[in-house]
Amino acid sequence: MKHFPIFLAVEGRRIVLSGGGEAALAKLRLLRKTEAHLTVFARHPAPEIEQWAAEGNLRLVRRAFQPGDALCAVLFYAADEDTVEDARTSALARADGALVNIVDNLMDSQFITPAIVDRDPVTVAIGTEGAAPVLARAIKADLEARLPATLGPLARIGKAFRKAADVLPMGRRRRDFWADYYFNTGPRAMDQGGEDHVKTALQASLEKHQNEHPREGHVAFVGAGPGDPELLTLKARKALDTADVVIHDRLVTPEILELARREAILIDAGKEGFGASMSQEAINALIVEHAAAGAQVVRLKGGDPTVFGRLDEEIEAVTASGISWHVVPGITAASASVASIGQSLTKRGRNASVRFLTGHDMKGFADHDWHALARPGEVAAIYMGKKSARFIQGRLIMHGADRATPVTVIENVSRPDQRVLATTLDRLPADLTEADLTGPALTFLGLSPRAAEAQLDHSKQELA
């Protein structure tokens, strides 16, 4: 992030602009919405600028910008649409102590003006650091269509009512009241009778929330998916929006954790295979402790919580403590992985079933039906199998598996740094961590990337 987004207090402060043409007009149309004192320096101002000056909306000085003209100004815009003149005025404004923006010159500007969705006092600023203005405008248009015009009046009424709402205790009860106002009570009252009706409904809503019993703690076991925030389900997003505490494992990406409420407590309860980690008993106790204290807890797990996530143990601990819960499934690592290589887990004529194995340790591996897994056409998805690759390879070959059976390893599936290793059973590295696969990885037995299969088929046809 090269430009840090902030909202600058400009009420009663000076903003100075040099220029009188189209670039100046574009900036002034936006700046006139503020409560700043605007001063424009222009030898030949556009008629609109002259009219705004006559109406008292800004001060117009009909000459070129000079040293000292930006003293005490918080912002300065160089908008003369002339490279030499913009360089001159911006240097003078910097010397006067103002922050400088040169129109259409990102590199020499000290700040940039974002695209803005105005629902005063609600303001949404959209910036692309100058990389994609067209994209910023498209996002602006989309948000303007989504945000109702009544949002501004609702926010103004809510702001005036904030002191009265302080009778509710800090935390969830107060947040629930405001959420009810902005998404239910307020819009409905506005539609029924305008701003006066909203004020009456707001007071009635406050009394209702004062008399309600505090909400009891609850646990949502939520699947975070394989890592891409866009693969998070809507129900998962909703759970994160309302969570007081998020207890997450190490497979949950920072981008997904960013979606949690800013006030939420984030607790890393990650487990590291073959290394130090928080015990399952400690995780169970942590979930129960926060939920019993009345918190809305999200137990956030990579992929789907029902797949190798020890979900049953956590549900049993929560149930034993009399705490309510629900499960929000997620996109599994297996589903995302086969999608990334253009394959499906089952295929008519190849395999009617698929096996899910976990290879984080060797315990229990001897109980698998290795003879069945070694049959031609079988497909298995092996979770956490990086360090047990040699064991799996040996068991399969021992039970008659074709050494040329395709094996595909997908690391960091769905993430920008995703990598795919396509190999065969006999060439599978003994320890995938030694193959520089350091991120979470899933191994497929019996599948290869569709593109690799197509290339192989093409080669066979040429040989024939």
Q: Mind giving me the DSSP string for 305-318? A: TTSSS-HHHHHHHH
The rounded distance, in Å, linking the Cα atoms of 157 and 165 is: 12
Question: What residue ranges do the domains of the chain occupy?
Answer: 14-146, 163-211, 218-331, 335-459
Please check whether residue 379 is in contact with residue 372, taking contact to mean a CB–CB distance below 8 angstroms: no
Q: Output the pLDDT for position 439.
A: 86
Q: Output the pLDDT for position 274.
A: 47
* Residue 92, CB-side half-sphere exposure with 13 Å CA sphere: 19
3-state SS class at 220: strand
Catalytic residues: 249, 271
Task: Give the residue ranges of the chain where pLDDT is below 50.
Answer: 274-275, 458-459, 463-464
Q: Which fold has domain 14-146?
A: Rossmann fold (3.40.50)
Domain 218-331 -> CATH class? alpha beta
The rounded distance, in Å, linking the Cα atoms of 20 and 319 is: 70
Q: Output the pLDDT for position 456.
A: 54
Q: Output the pLDDT for position 463.
A: 46
List Cβ<8 Å contacts ≥24 apart for 451-459.
451/341, 451/342, 452/422
- A 10 A CB-CB count for 419 gives 15
Closest by CA position to 24, among listed 73, 82, 74: 82
Q: Which fold has domain 335-459?
A: 3.30.950
